[in-house]
Amino acid sequence: METYDFDVVILGGGPAGFSAALYSARGAASTAIIDVSMLGGQPSNYLELENYPGMKKIGGFDLMEKFEEHADMFGVQKFPMQEIESVDLVSNPKVITTKEGIFKAKSVIIATGAKPMKLGVKGELEYIGRGVSYCAVCDGSFYQDKVVAVVGGGNSAVEEAMYLTKFASKVYIIHRRDELRADKIIQERAFKNDKIEFVWDSVVEEICGEDLVSYIVIKNVKTNDVTNLKTDGVFPYIGMLPNVDNINGQIKQDARGFILTDETMKTSLDGVYAVGDVRNTPLRQVITAASDGAIGAVYATKYVQAQKEVAV
Ligand code: NAP
């Protein structure tokens, strides 16, 4: 098995990871990106983005290709499709072991992202990108004058439902209880919004349609009544989960597992930084992930430089 030595190893090849890689390699640190799947991260699956500054409209895949090409320009080494066996962030150097190699790093930047919790119902996976979306900010404008259903009762569901009323003619909020979890102030705003209709005590049982979503099957959990609700889009907002397998327990995380950092993106461990959706952050967008990556890499490379100076 091959052993590699890098100044900075970045876990995760999405916008946060590629931005970090660009700043790290351009800062003269030898840099590698390791990903468990193809490079590009979550945006690779977005049909279009129209909120990345400078790009009026660009396919998610195309944008991430540009991120990758930019990192290539500075000699970032890329290791996609790695099956990770262990991540030791405590040792010095830090060691990431995959099925294919041992990666030693003076500094590690965690950019592994987060995944939306899935409803786990029939039709959900089949209709992703064809009516099912986990990102109102990314996809809301595709639902101009259409009907959409948001699932969940937390702050994300209610805030995103309000955001969707900018475009949609009607927004259902389908919640499994008769009381929202969202903050009172957010609830009050939603109750005042004429475009929002609440469907209480209900869960989605199936997402249906032809080529695109056209209706969902919902069940009232109190009466057990099952009905079809016409909708063009479904936005499940039932929580996000960080991708922290192999990392859990080594650094400080919040109750849901998101990594806690300071303003330099440093985690509770020296030389370990966390950037993008995997960290405890108030906004999860390509632009914020890229921004985190830049900050984290600048401080990671400063850390690496200091380590090198101590060594001589
Ligand atoms: P959340 O607060 O955990 O809410 C998830 C919602 O989805 C809950 O209403 C929950 O129902 C429902 N749910 C969970 N699993 C479900 C399932 N399998 N089927 C149907 N419904 C399900 O998640 P979030 O809204 O993503 O927020 C996450 C955190 O970020 C929270 O701490 C939130 O306050 C914070 N946040 C803050 C802001 C803000 O301050 N502006 C904005 C967004 C998020 P129950 O209520 O019955 O459990």
Cα(125)–Cα(133) distance, integer angstroms: 10
The three-point CA angle 71-72-75 to 5° equals: 100
118, 159, 181: which to mutate for ligand 1, most atoms within 8 A of CB? 181
155 pLDDT more than 90: no
Under 8 Å CB-to-CB from 284, ≥6 apart: which residues? 114, 240, 276, 277
In angstroms, rounded to a whole number, what is the distance separating the alpha carbons of residues 106 and 251? Answer: 17
Other Cβ atoms closer than 10 A to 113: 25
Residue 155 Cβ < 6 Å to ligand 1: yes
Write the burial class of residue 191 (CB in 10 Å: 0-12 exposed, 13-18 middle, 19+ buried): exposed
Query: Which residues make beta-bridge pairs with 216?
Result: 207, 229
Residue 298's pLDDT band (cuts 50, 70, 90): very high
SS3 state at 120? coil
Q: Residue 58 has what pLDDT?
A: 93
Where do the domains of the chain lie, and which CATH numbers do they carry? 2-115+240-311 (3.50.50.60), 118-236 (3.50.50.60)
pLDDT at 49: 80
Contacts of 158 (CB under 8 A, 6+ apart): 150, 173, 180, 182, 186, 187, 190
Residue 288 pLDDT more than 80? yes
Over residues 242-246, the mean pLDDT reads 95
Please confirm, yes or no, whether 139 is among the known catalytic residues: yes
Instruction: Identify the pLDDT of residue 93.
Output: 97
For residue 243, pLDDT over 70 is answered with yes
pLDDT 10s digits, 117-126? 999 999 999 9
208 is a catalytic site residue? no
Three-state helix/strand/coil letters over 223-267: CCCEEEEECCEEEECCCEEECCCCCCCCCCECCCCCECCCCCCEC
DSSP string, 41-76: -GGGG-S-BS-BTTBSSB-HHHHHHHHHHHHHHTT-
Could you tell me the distance, in angstroms and rounded to a whole number, from the CA of residue 176 to the centre of ligand 1? Answer: 12
pLDDT at 252 over 70: yes
3-state secondary structure of 141: helix
Predicted pLDDT of residue 46:
66
Q: Which residue is closest in CA terms to ligand 1's atom 37? A: 155
- Residue 157 Cβ inside 6 Å of ligand 1? The answer reads yes
- Prediction pTM value: 0.77
Q: What percent of the chain has pLDDT above 90?
A: 89
The pLDDT tens digits for 181-233 are 999 999 999 999 999 999 999 999 999 999 999 999 999 999 999 999 999 99
Nearest-angstrom CA–CA distance, 101 and 192: 57
The pLDDT tens digits of the residues spanning 156-187 come to 899 899 999 999 999 999 999 999 999 999 99
26 vs 105: CA distance, rounded Å: 17
3-class DSSP state of 296: helix
Q: Is the CB of 156 under 6 A from ligand 1?
A: yes
Instruction: Return the SS3 of 221.
Output: coil
Task: Encode pLDDT of 10-21 as tens digits.
Answer: 999 999 999 999
Place of tokens 């993106």: 265
Looking at every residue in the chain, the average pLDDT score rounds to: 96
Q: What is the DSSP letter of 207?
A: E
- Short-list 70, 74, 84, 116, CA closest to 12: 84
Q: Is the pLDDT of residue 303 over 90?
A: yes
User: Atom 32, ligand 1: which residue's CA is nearest?
Assistant: 155
SS3 for 311? helix
Tens digit of each residue's pLDDT (9 = 90 or more) over 29-88 = 999 999 999 999 988 866 678 889 999 999 889 999 999 999 999 999 999 999 999 999
What confidence score (pLDDT) does residue 147 get? 98
Sheet holding 202-209, edge to edge: 202-209, 213-220, 226-230
The 3-state DSSP class for residue 104 equals strand
Return the pLDDT at 176: 98
CA-179 nearest atom, ligand 1? 46
Asked whether residue 138 carries a pLDDT value surpassing 90, the answer given is no
How high is the pLDDT of residue 311? 85
Ligand 1 geometric centre to CA of 300 (Å) = 33
Length of the chain: 312
CB contact set of 191 (below 8 Å; sequence gap of 6+): none
Per-residue confidence at 260, pLDDT binned at 50, 70, 90? very high
